[in-house]
Amino acid sequence: SFDDFRHLRQNKRTYVDKTGMIPELITRGAQITLFCRPRRFGKSLMLSTLRYFVERVEEDRSYLFSDLAVWQHEYVKTHFQKYPVIMVDMKAARGSSWSGGFGKSWPLSFNGIPIWKALLSYRKKKKSIFRRSVGSRPPANSILRRWSG
């Protein structure tokens, strides 16, 4: 797929290096960043690139970035593979209405686990902040509760 950074790099596909945006995103410190670009302008690819850069996994992904612009910034490299990432792809949501598409197609899971359970599992291992944010179960009236069962 053309919106998966690792796939492009591992398969030696043509890739225009836009990793120079990552230092700006990290050093800006904004809680929310809005990517305003027309369709087919690489928004999903940029998010995939950012995911592969910051997502904490056991696999060493430095080979994906070592020859790209982001690797020249020592401070930004301190954020490399440091954070848990939950990436939700809304492209799969299809329906005649927002609730129909959202309710039927949107994958509210992380590696096959409902997001709220994944957050609690992470919280038990490392951080208590998730417990305070999510609670032991999703609230009865929340969207999370509907999909977590």
17-62 pLDDT, tens per residue?
A: 999 999 999 988 788 888 888 888 888 899 999 999 999 989 999 9
Does residue 92 contact residue 105 with C-beta atoms inside 8 Å? Answer: yes
In sequence order, what are the residues at sequence separation of 6 or more whose Cβ sits closer than 8 angstroms to the Cβ of residue 48?
3, 4, 5, 6, 87
Q: What is the Rg, in whole angstroms, of the alpha carbon atoms belonging to the chain?
A: 17
More confident residue, 145 or 110: 110
Distance CA 53, CA 79 (A): 8
Name the token pair of 136. Answer: 């032991």
The amino acid that residue 114 corresponds to is P
pLDDT, residue 41, reads: 85
| pLDDT at residue 141 in the model | 44
Which residue, among 142, 143, 136, has the nearest Cα to 108 in the 3D structure? 143
Q: Which residue has the higher pLDDT, 129 or 66?
A: 66
pLDDT tens-digit map of 77-95: 999 999 888 776 666 666 6
For the record, the structure tokens of 103 come out as: 């309710």
Rounded Cα distance between 37 and 10, Å, is 26
Q: Which residue has the higher pLDDT, 33 or 64?
A: 64
Taking a C-beta distance cutoff of 8 angstroms, is the pair 5, 64 a contact? yes
